[in-house]
A and B are shown apart, each in its own frame.
Chain A
Amino acid sequence: MKKLNIMIVAALVLVGCNNFDDNININPNVPSQASGTQLIANAMLSLSGLSSSPQGEFMSQYLSETQYVNASLYPQSSTSFYGWYQGPLMNLETVLTADDLSGVEGPVPNQLAVAKILKSYYIWHLTDRWGDIPYTQALMGADNFTPAYDSQESIYTDLFKVLDEATSQIVSGSITNDIIFNGDMTKWSKLANTLKMLMALRLSEVNPTLGKEKFAAALQAGVITSNSGNLVFKHLADANNQNYWYNQIDLQGREWWAISETLMDKMKPVSDPRLMVYAAPNRTDGKYTGLVFGETVNIDTEKYALLGKAIHAQDAPIYLVTYAQALFAQAEAAKRGWISGGDASAEDNYKKAIVASMDQWGADKSTLNNFMTQPEIAYSPAMAMEQIATQRWVHLFMHGYEGWAEYRRTGYPNNMVSPGGSDVPNRQIYIETEQFNNTDNYNEAVQRQFGGPESLYGKVWWDVN
């Protein structure tokens, strides 16, 4: 009995031990702290994905599919936006809501400003693709697993405000870990104003009054003034940070994409010097042959111009917000009368924009004068809107989603085709998972925008024509 009692006590002592080493449940394999600029830097790594997507190229018909032709036929399938929220946006939100940012890596207001500018850029991109999206209630983690969708109009309104906040809070001093502008806050400020200007232009059809006001204010505040101020994601000659198309074309040997006839028709007849950068001549007769967009049968890739070497180099950069875009915007604004100068200013900006584009793409400018004087290209007041929009679309090559947004707004280029009878979509379809995980808000957003089931052809708020 005595021994039994001892054992009972021993067992009870064991029960009493519910203490472990204090750190036993702290993960030793990953950092438990992150600095603001490390999170921002990670959000910057995602920038290239805004453009590195065949889907975007199909939306603006820059590239035609050569094999397994399907995605370019505009199937009614959904596209997920989760990656953007869970990836760069959540990193930026963590910075924006942190209460312990360190000034060691640059002034805290500047870190916050950069986070706001990047967040605004991503959100703008998303709302232009899908329409209404979760915004004010998004990125709250456990506080809200079912965020409501904000209307695109209210998102635009808020983004204008946030970009203003960002530029006004910038103080002197650079931030570290900035893989875009190397900490140059002046460039960030100009980028913010340029974003605001381009967003304002997007309102040209739905609310020109507001658009004009915001455009002028942004221009006044100072926009990008040279290609060195471009928002560019510079890939590296390193497998960890290499260009998407390099992986597809060079490493996986995929000849799945050819230059579309749609693009070729706007470049080849006018001997556009950028064509030799954009495209490689076909291997049959060395000519620049475009492939009809949406062609599905018997495609021999040898016969068509594929992507130019510079576009799919391992370290080929991704151009996102550029000086030329800012100039095209000013040209259009002048033509619209949003800013002063009329046709003269429009023409001046238009020409500068083309030159900036040539510079950006590294085109051979020896034939530039010939190019600029051709009737299709030379500025004509009667054709100005089309010329500006078309040249902007040519310039936006490989930034398909932006080219598509401008096409939806302006209707140019005028030679977009409808593969298999399907027109260029007006938006993208929300990921199905939202119907399960965020049911009420999803239904509400779809009903509010489309009054019925959603499709590729529902229109986003600013797309009123």
Chain B
Amino acid sequence: MKKNYAITLLFLLGFLVSIPLYAQQTVKGKVSAQEDGAPLPGVSIVVQGSSTGTVSDLDGNYSISVPGSESVLVYSFIGYTTQRKIVGNSAEINIILGEDISQLGEVVVTALGITRDERSIGYSTQEVKGENLTYTKEQNVLGSLSGKIAGVQVTGSSGASMGGTQKIKIRGVNSISGGGEPLMVIDGTPISNSNFSGSSGQDYGNLGQDINPEDIETINVLKGPAASALYGIRGQYGVIMITTKKGKKGSDVKVELSSAVFVDKVSNLMPYQNQYGGGSSQTWRTLPNGDKYVDMSVDESWGPKTDGTLARQVMSFYPQDPTFGQLTPFVSYPDNIRDYYETGTNVNNGVTITGGGANSNFRVSVNDTRIQGVEPNTSLKRNNVGVSLGVDLTKKLKVTTNVNYAANNGRRPGQGSEDGSRYLGQWFQRSMDMNRLKDYKYDDGTFLNWNLRRPSTSTGEITNFNPLYWANPYFLANENFSDDNRDRFFGDVGISYQILPELKVSAFVRSDMYTQNINSRASFGGTGNPGYSIGKYQNTEMNYEFLAQYNKVWNKFSLDANVGGNFYDRDYSYLSMATVGGLTSPGFYNINASIDRPSTTSYQQNKQIKSAYAMVSLGYNNTYFIDASIRNDNSSTLPVENNSYWYPSISTSLVFSEWIKSDVMTLGKLRLSYAQAGSDLNPYSTTSFFNVGSTYTGSSTVNTLSVPDNLNNPNIKPSFAHSYEAGVDFKFYEGKVGLSFTYYNQRNENQILNLDVSGTSGYGSATINAGEIVNKGLELAITATPYRNDNFSWDMSFNVSRNRNEVVELYPGIDVYQYGSTTYSSTTSYLNSYVGKPFGSLVGQAYKRDEATGKILLGGNNLPLYTDATHDFGTVLPDFNGGFQNVLNYKNFQLAAMIDFQAGGQFFSRSKMLAVRTGLDPLSAATNENGMNVRDPLAEGGGVRIEGISAETGEEVTAFVDAKAYYGVVARRIYEDWLYDASFIRLREVSLSYNFSKAQYAKLPVENVRLALVGRNLGMLFQNAPKGINPAELSTGSQAIGWYESGQLPSVRSFGFNLNVTF
């Protein structure tokens, strides 16, 4: 049955190509291209008004029989202007075809790298040109897509993270489990975009960042299943298709140097109060001799007023400190957190050499990036080498190869509530001088810490100088760092053979392989045990691919047909080890230094997918197009008896501007498509296994085993997505205004979920097929050239998209899917999805309210009461996303600016909550309605004013309550107060450049020089969330959905210049 499908399809194909030809008189000639004079093979030559036709051969030559001298020959080829010639007396007609600029969007690269005329495509694709990506030297390809493509949401991370994660979602959340990242494909080679980060700790970033942005010619985003249908099981969530720059045949060798230097500054810190210093009470603590001292055992700022009172500060308890025993003024250090950050630098140098011989083309690029982070002792070094070669061995046989190498060496800052220095904005003393902490090591090798146990109440001395909760941030940066490095190769070798002018076959071997190393250390002298861990992760993905392409144009018909197959083979393994129970000697960081038996894990994984596919596109009169494709995938991760699945798609394009002739409308096109896509699951999810538990060595050694928390499923099926899409594309005024509008409806059903189930079943979750999630959306992209003359032009592009999501169904008896949860101080909040609501509701503790009035209910002590952690605060998904780009050219100047924006969505900010709870935030030292500080005694008019209804008496209460007690409840238990709207408008990049060319400056010793001043991440033009919290940088490591912020790294603003020299 399955095979019949393909056979029928191919029969149809065979029938269409075997239409017979007949003739009387012969015309010969050669067709070549206008831009480089190269012969054009495959050009359709038809006698107008008849069914007689032929195509040019590999050398562009053709020969056709015509009825007589009055016959008209029509020469047409995708992407070129059609020409008509009266035969007359000529026996030889040579034709030069020019590229057709009036055609919509010209040729686009579609799935499997097949180039197509955009007017023939029945689904939405959107392309970004490489030069739009490298204006500002954004290092992560996905990050540079933010705001540039309708329907794409990019969630970034702070520049301080050094190559941190950029996440991309196409057309909303299409998976109930929140995952669903698009496939990244570079020159036809699928590459890994996985991530080694957790939700806290170092953010190692998404692996897609190994692509050198300088190498990118174009990026095409295949948004819906119709576009990505040919990628089958791997393309369900869309495809990011990257095409790299290549050398051109027969061109001179060209050398291009580029150099960029950027300075990074922390830009957006939270505000802090500067009236009260470290401690938990405004009453001074005293030593036995009566001296006041600052309470170093408290990591909060609820202490005495920073009024200059003379007191013993923590340093004065260190006998080796110059201030030992001294009383010093107790003051605030308003910039103490800012002082911690340094000025970062980012230096990028690159060389590109391109060229080509008569039968070959090449491009070589080398890039070196060195980043010094804004956090002390953080850095990232990256090297890219790219080689792309093409050789025509014969006229018919071509060999091409792309090889890319990327090396990364990072020492990155930790992030998350309690990682590295991230506690500074959450648990700290406003009275701590950061510049004192900077010299974190005394000459005798001991460390200066600010958070210690209190001095002895008898001697007044401190003898234990180990940090209590937090170590000195400089100690953490300089002694407890984590290093990572990755070596990676990806690329392909391909061979293609032009059997007939219409028929080409090609075969490719594609590979993506990397080795990732991560090690981290915990030094002696910190909190907890010293330790060392190391991990080595290796991944090899091979794709073996075969493709036959058939293109033919005759009469008014055009045919594209493709048949192919792919074998995917992935091997992944890792080895990770960590010391247990401490290290044997200081400074010796090795697994061999483990005091107890070290923990080790070795892991290997293999996955294979075998696929075959076919696609046929039929066009009529360059007006009506219909595409159909079918793909079969066999995934090794599915149960053996159930591992083969078919995914069809169909799409159509109608160029209605061919019917309605208009001076205004240059092009109008309607497109419709339907597709199915599927996805499989991770290896080893269908068979049962046991976990290895701790080993217990009592009288004998006992190796324990346990039942895992997730229940695997031997009957799992792939999930299916059904997608409908309709859209229109317009070009007005010869392309000066373009508009593209799309509506889509994507239904993902029978999803493969690790559904949380009641733990009383014995499992915390179970792998099941269940649920349905629907995304509906609108996408609008507008391009315009409002003005253009010889000296001045203004180009703009704007896009916006709106996505509506609903979880339609889960599992019988279970109405909620828990995506994630976060717990702090025994208070948990969740990201849940409920049936009948959009994906991703924030759930947590809210104020308990009086049902009648909605007023807050108060307990006996007038503090607010709160609900349990089941209150649904609504979805975190945004309403709109988009971007707006303007480019102004005046003579040799160019000014470009880019804004991206998001409306709606929300998140929970733990940083803000903790800053208030610990007395760092200005809210905790605000002036109340009595004109007094909220920290002043209640008897004197201090306290936080609260209005509500007493839960006990039911009576309205207006009272002042102690600020610390109040925020001890509100900023610890009541998440409702710490949720923020995620809307923003961000000025993402601005560049001003000047171009010197030899054409203008004859004395210029080089071909071209371009100098640009660039600003990146300049700041928010608008945000609803409080200052210091960036709603656009919620990416927390590998989490698929950014829904809360906890110890977010501060935003970083970059300024610099960028120099390009072409020889």
Partner-B contacts on A (CB < 8 A): 1, 3-5, 7-8, 10-12, 14-20, 24-35, 38-39, 41-42, 44-45, 68, 70-71, 75-78, 80-83, 85-87, 89-91, 93-94, 133-134, 138-142, 144-147, 177, 179, 182, 234, 236, 238-241, 251-253, 255, 283-284, 297-298, 300, 302-303, 420-421, 429, 431-440
Given A146-B813, A303-B457, A251-B529 contact (CB < 8 Å): yes
**Is the CB of B707 closer than 8 A to any CB of chain A?**
yes
Q: Which residues 389-443 in B have Cβ within 8 Å of A in the complex?
A: none
Given A15-B612, A15-B632, A31-B690 contact (CB < 8 Å): yes
Residues of A within 8 A of B17 (CB): 1, 4
Contact B3 A32 (CB under 8 A): no
Partner pick for B762 among A77, A78, A86, A182, CB 8 A cutoff? A86
Partner pick for A139 among B596, B695, B760, B814, CB 8 A cutoff? B760
A140 to B456, CA, bound (A): 57
Contact B813 A145 (CB under 8 A): yes
**Is the CB of B694 closer than 8 A to any CB of chain A?**
yes
**Is the CB of B1017 closer than 8 A to any CB of chain A?**
no
* Shortest distance between the CB of B480 and any CB in chain A (Å): 15
Contact B505 A7 (CB under 8 A): yes
Partner pick for B565 among A11, A34, A300, A421, CB 8 A cutoff? A11
Contact B458 A284 (CB under 8 A): yes
* Shortest distance between the CB of A94 and any CB in chain B (Å): 5
| Stretch binding the partner chain, chosen from B70-78, B681-689, B933-941, B1032-1040 | B681-689
Contact A240 B604 (CB under 8 A): no
Partner-A contacts on B (CB < 8 A): 2-3, 6-7, 10, 13-14, 17-18, 280-281, 283, 453-454, 456-458, 466, 468, 499, 503, 505, 527-529, 546, 548, 550, 563-565, 567, 580-582, 595-597, 599, 602-608, 610-612, 614, 632, 634, 636-637, 639-640, 643-644, 683-684, 686-699, 702-707, 709, 711, 713, 756-764, 766, 811, 813-816, 818, 825-827, 832, 860-861, 868-870, 968, 972-973
Partner pick for A31 among B683, B689, B762, CB 8 A cutoff? B689
Chain B residue at minimal CB-CB distance from A435 = B870
Residues of A within 8 A of B640 (CB): 19-20, 25
Partner pick for A179 among B702, B825, B861, CB 8 A cutoff? B702
Contact B693 A25 (CB under 8 A): no
Contact B529 A238 (CB under 8 A): no
With A4-B14, A145-B814 given, name 9 new contacts (CB 8 A).
A11-B563, A18-B634, A38-B705, A78-B868, A89-B762, A239-B581, A240-B580, A240-B696, A437-B814
Q: Which of A4, A24, A147 has the most CB of B within 10 A?
A: A4
A79 to B956, CA, bound (A): 33
Partner pick for B694 among A8, A45, A139, A177, CB 8 A cutoff? A45
A318 to B313, CA, bound (A): 42
Contact A12 B688 (CB under 8 A): no
20 CB contacts below 8 A, A to B, read: A14-B611, A15-B2, A18-B634, A28-B604, A29-B602, A31-B705, A32-B688, A42-B705, A45-B693, A70-B972, A86-B707, A86-B759, A90-B706, A91-B706, A142-B713, A147-B760, A239-B529, A255-B453, A303-B457, A434-B760
Residues of B within 8 A of A25 (CB): 636-637, 639-640, 683-684, 686-687
Chain B residue at minimal CB-CB distance from A26 = B687
Contact A85 B644 (CB under 8 A): no
Residues of A within 8 A of B696 (CB): 41, 45, 179, 236, 240-241
Contact A145 B757 (CB under 8 A): yes
Q: Which of A30, A33, A144, A434 has the most CB of B within 10 A?
A: A30
Chain B residue at minimal CB-CB distance from A29 = B603
Chain B residue at minimal CB-CB distance from A24 = B636
Given A145-B761, A239-B595, A303-B457, A31-B707 contact (CB < 8 Å): no
Given A7-B548, A45-B696, A145-B757, A138-B762 contact (CB < 8 Å): yes
Given A45-B693, A238-B597, A140-B457 contact (CB < 8 Å): no
Contact A433 B762 (CB under 8 A): no
Given A31-B689, A31-B692, A141-B711 contact (CB < 8 Å): yes
Residues of B within 8 A of A436 (CB): 814-816, 818, 832, 870
Chain B residue at minimal CB-CB distance from A297 = B281
Contact A4 B548 (CB under 8 A): yes
Given A25-B683, A177-B702, A433-B758, A86-B764 contact (CB < 8 Å): yes
Partner pick for B763 among A31, A34, A80, A141, CB 8 A cutoff? A141
A26 to B973, CA, bound (A): 45
A440 to B813, CA, bound (A): 9
Contact B14 A1 (CB under 8 A): yes
* Shortest distance between the CB of B329 and any CB in chain A (Å): 24
Partner pick for A302 among B454, B503, B597, CB 8 A cutoff? B454
Residues of A within 8 A of B684 (CB): 25-27, 29
Contact A134 B760 (CB under 8 A): yes
Name the 3 nearest CB pairs between A and B, nearest first. A82-B759, A239-B581, A27-B684
Chain B residue at minimal CB-CB distance from A180 = B698
Contact A32 B687 (CB under 8 A): yes
Contact A433 B756 (CB under 8 A): yes
Contact B503 A4 (CB under 8 A): yes
Residues of A within 8 A of B636 (CB): 20, 24-25
Contact A33 B690 (CB under 8 A): yes
Contact B597 A39 (CB under 8 A): no
Contact B608 A24 (CB under 8 A): yes
Residues of B within 8 A of A26 (CB): 684, 687
Chain A residue at minimal CB-CB distance from B281 = A298
Contact A10 B565 (CB under 8 A): yes
A25 to B634, CA, bound (A): 13
A134 to B763, CA, bound (A): 13
Residues of A within 8 A of B611 (CB): 14
Q: Which of A24, A26, A33 has the most CB of B within 10 A?
A: A24
* Shortest distance between the CB of A203 and any CB in chain B (Å): 24
A14 to B507, CA, bound (A): 14
Contact A17 B610 (CB under 8 A): yes
A101 to B283, CA, bound (A): 67
Q: Which of B13, B610, B766 has the most CB of A within 10 A?
A: B610
Contact A421 B860 (CB under 8 A): yes
Chain B residue at minimal CB-CB distance from A31 = B690
A432 to B823, CA, bound (A): 13
Contact B457 A14 (CB under 8 A): no
Partner pick for A284 among B457, B688, B761, CB 8 A cutoff? B457
A437 to B694, CA, bound (A): 30
A145 to B610, CA, bound (A): 35
Residues of B within 8 A of A31 (CB): 689-690, 692, 705
Contact B705 A15 (CB under 8 A): no
A12 to B630, CA, bound (A): 13
A381 to B548, CA, bound (A): 99
A213 to B915, CA, bound (A): 60
A80 to B563, CA, bound (A): 55
Contact A141 B761 (CB under 8 A): yes
Partner pick for A434 among B18, B758, B825, CB 8 A cutoff? B758
Chain A residue at minimal CB-CB distance from B865 = A76
A11 to B545, CA, bound (A): 11
Residues of A within 8 A of B706 (CB): 34, 39, 42, 87, 90-91
Residues of A within 8 A of B6 (CB): 8, 11-12, 15
Residues of B within 8 A of A440 (CB): 813
Chain B residue at minimal CB-CB distance from A126 = B760
* Shortest distance between the CB of B765 and any CB in chain A (Å): 10
Contact B707 A140 (CB under 8 A): no
Residues of B within 8 A of A139 (CB): 760-762
Chain B residue at minimal CB-CB distance from A28 = B604
* Shortest distance between the CB of A432 and any CB in chain B (Å): 5
Contact A437 B503 (CB under 8 A): no
Chain A residue at minimal CB-CB distance from B828 = A432
* Shortest distance between the CB of B325 and any CB in chain A (Å): 21
Contact B761 A147 (CB under 8 A): yes
Contact A1 B18 (CB under 8 A): yes
A45 to B706, CA, bound (A): 11
Chain B residue at minimal CB-CB distance from A429 = B868
Residues of B within 8 A of A7 (CB): 505, 546, 548, 563
